[in-house]
Protein backbone atom coordinates (compact mmCIF):
# COMPACT_ATOMS: atom_id res chain seq x y z
CA UNK A 1 0.00 0.00 0.00
CA UNK A 2 2.80 2.46 0.93
CA UNK A 3 4.66 1.73 -2.32
CA UNK A 4 1.54 2.39 -4.39
CA UNK A 5 0.76 5.69 -2.66
CA UNK A 6 4.39 6.75 -2.84
CA UNK A 7 4.66 5.80 -6.51
CA UNK A 8 1.45 7.72 -7.27
CA UNK A 9 2.85 10.74 -5.43
CA UNK A 10 6.08 10.44 -7.40
CA UNK A 11 4.11 10.30 -10.64
CA UNK A 12 1.99 13.32 -9.63
CA UNK A 13 5.12 15.30 -8.77
CA UNK A 14 6.49 14.15 -12.12
CA UNK A 15 3.45 15.48 -13.97
CA UNK A 16 3.85 18.92 -12.38
CA UNK A 17 7.61 19.05 -13.00
CA UNK A 18 7.04 17.77 -16.55
CA UNK A 19 4.61 20.60 -17.26
CA UNK A 20 7.17 23.08 -15.91
CA UNK A 21 9.86 21.37 -18.00
CA UNK A 22 7.78 21.45 -21.19
CA UNK A 23 6.59 25.01 -20.68
CA UNK A 24 10.00 26.40 -19.87
CA UNK A 25 11.46 24.89 -23.06
CA UNK A 26 9.33 27.28 -25.08
CA UNK A 27 10.79 30.19 -23.12
CA UNK A 28 14.38 28.96 -23.48
CA UNK A 29 13.85 28.21 -27.18
CA UNK A 30 13.13 31.89 -27.85
CA UNK A 31 16.79 32.56 -27.02
CA UNK A 32 18.57 29.36 -28.03
CA UNK A 33 18.49 26.22 -30.12
CA UNK A 34 16.16 23.30 -29.44
CA UNK A 35 19.05 21.28 -27.98
CA UNK A 36 20.11 24.01 -25.53
CA UNK A 37 16.49 24.76 -24.63
CA UNK A 38 16.07 21.10 -23.66
CA UNK A 39 18.98 21.41 -21.21
CA UNK A 40 17.53 24.54 -19.60
CA UNK A 41 14.07 22.99 -19.41
CA UNK A 42 15.47 19.84 -17.85
CA UNK A 43 17.16 21.96 -15.19
CA UNK A 44 13.80 23.55 -14.34
CA UNK A 45 12.21 20.09 -14.31
CA UNK A 46 14.84 18.55 -12.03
CA UNK A 47 14.79 21.36 -9.47
CA UNK A 48 11.00 21.43 -9.31
CA UNK A 49 10.89 17.62 -9.09
CA UNK A 50 13.35 17.65 -6.18
CA UNK A 51 11.30 20.15 -4.21
CA UNK A 52 8.01 18.35 -4.87
CA UNK A 53 9.44 14.93 -4.03
CA UNK A 54 11.12 16.16 -0.86
CA UNK A 55 8.03 18.00 0.37
CA UNK A 56 5.27 15.59 -0.65
CA UNK A 57 6.54 12.12 -1.60
CA UNK A 58 9.61 10.91 0.29
CA UNK A 59 10.59 11.61 3.86
CA UNK A 60 13.81 13.63 3.90
CA UNK A 61 16.93 11.57 4.43
CA UNK A 62 19.12 11.97 7.50
CA UNK A 63 21.61 13.96 5.42
CA UNK A 64 21.78 17.73 4.86
CA UNK A 65 19.69 19.14 2.01
CA UNK A 66 22.80 19.83 -0.11
CA UNK A 67 23.85 16.15 0.05
CA UNK A 68 20.35 14.95 -0.74
CA UNK A 69 20.05 17.43 -3.62
CA UNK A 70 23.46 16.28 -4.89
CA UNK A 71 22.23 12.68 -5.04
CA UNK A 72 18.99 13.80 -6.68
CA UNK A 73 20.93 15.68 -9.36
CA UNK A 74 23.31 12.74 -9.88
CA UNK A 75 20.40 10.37 -10.52
CA UNK A 76 18.75 12.88 -12.82
CA UNK A 77 21.90 13.59 -14.86
CA UNK A 78 21.67 10.09 -16.28
CA UNK A 79 17.94 10.58 -16.82
CA UNK A 80 18.54 13.94 -18.52
CA UNK A 81 21.14 12.42 -20.82
CA UNK A 82 18.76 9.64 -21.79
CA UNK A 83 15.88 12.08 -22.18
CA UNK A 84 17.96 14.51 -24.27
CA UNK A 85 19.27 11.82 -26.62
CA UNK A 86 15.77 10.39 -27.06
CA UNK A 87 14.20 13.80 -27.76
CA UNK A 88 16.90 14.93 -30.18
CA UNK A 89 16.92 11.63 -32.10
CA UNK A 90 13.14 11.66 -32.38
CA UNK A 91 12.92 15.36 -33.34
CA UNK A 92 15.88 15.56 -35.72
CA UNK A 93 15.86 12.07 -37.26
CA UNK A 94 12.96 9.70 -36.51
CA UNK A 95 10.00 12.08 -36.80
CA UNK A 96 11.13 13.63 -40.10
CA UNK A 97 11.79 10.14 -41.50
CA UNK A 98 8.33 9.02 -40.36
CA UNK A 99 6.60 12.17 -41.60
CA UNK A 100 5.43 13.26 -38.13
CA UNK A 101 4.30 16.88 -38.46
CA UNK A 102 1.99 17.41 -35.47
CA UNK A 103 4.14 19.25 -32.90
CA UNK A 104 7.20 17.02 -33.36
CA UNK A 105 9.23 19.15 -30.91
CA UNK A 106 6.66 18.72 -28.15
CA UNK A 107 6.12 15.01 -28.83
CA UNK A 108 9.86 14.31 -28.88
CA UNK A 109 10.39 16.27 -25.66
CA UNK A 110 7.48 14.56 -23.85
CA UNK A 111 8.58 11.07 -24.92
CA UNK A 112 12.13 11.89 -23.85
CA UNK A 113 10.89 12.90 -20.39
CA UNK A 114 8.99 9.61 -19.98
CA UNK A 115 11.94 7.33 -20.73
CA UNK A 116 13.74 7.55 -17.33
CA UNK A 117 10.68 7.78 -15.03
CA UNK A 118 10.69 4.32 -13.41
CA UNK A 119 14.47 3.95 -13.05
CA UNK A 120 14.55 7.41 -11.43
CA UNK A 121 11.80 6.47 -8.95
CA UNK A 122 13.66 3.43 -7.68
CA UNK A 123 17.00 5.25 -7.50
CA UNK A 124 15.45 8.13 -5.52
CA UNK A 125 13.64 5.73 -3.21
CA UNK A 126 16.69 3.58 -2.52
CA UNK A 127 19.46 6.18 -2.62
CA UNK A 128 18.45 9.86 -2.76
CA UNK A 129 15.86 9.83 0.04
CA UNK A 130 17.06 6.71 1.88
CA UNK A 131 16.67 7.18 5.63
CA UNK A 132 20.20 6.05 6.54
CA UNK A 133 22.87 8.70 6.44
CA UNK A 134 25.71 8.42 3.96
CA UNK A 135 28.00 11.16 5.27
Question: How many CB atoms neighbour CB 2 within 10 A?
Answer: 6
Question: How many CB atoms neighbour CB 94 within 10 A?
Answer: 15
Residue 135 has pLDDT above 50, yes or no: no
* pLDDT score of 2: 57
Give the pLDDT band (50/70/90) at residue 131.
confident
Question: How many CB atoms neighbour CB 83 within 10 A?
Answer: 25
Give the pLDDT band (50/70/90) at residue 3.
low
* pLDDT score of 50: 94
Residue 67 has pLDDT above 50, yes or no: yes
Average pLDDT over residues 3-10: 85
Q: Would you kindly state where each structural domain of the chain is located, as residue ranges?
A: 2-128
Amino acid sequence: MQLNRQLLGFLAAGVVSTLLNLGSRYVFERFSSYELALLGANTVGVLSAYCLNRWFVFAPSADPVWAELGRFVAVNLLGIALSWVTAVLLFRWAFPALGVTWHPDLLAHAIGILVPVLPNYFMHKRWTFNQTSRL
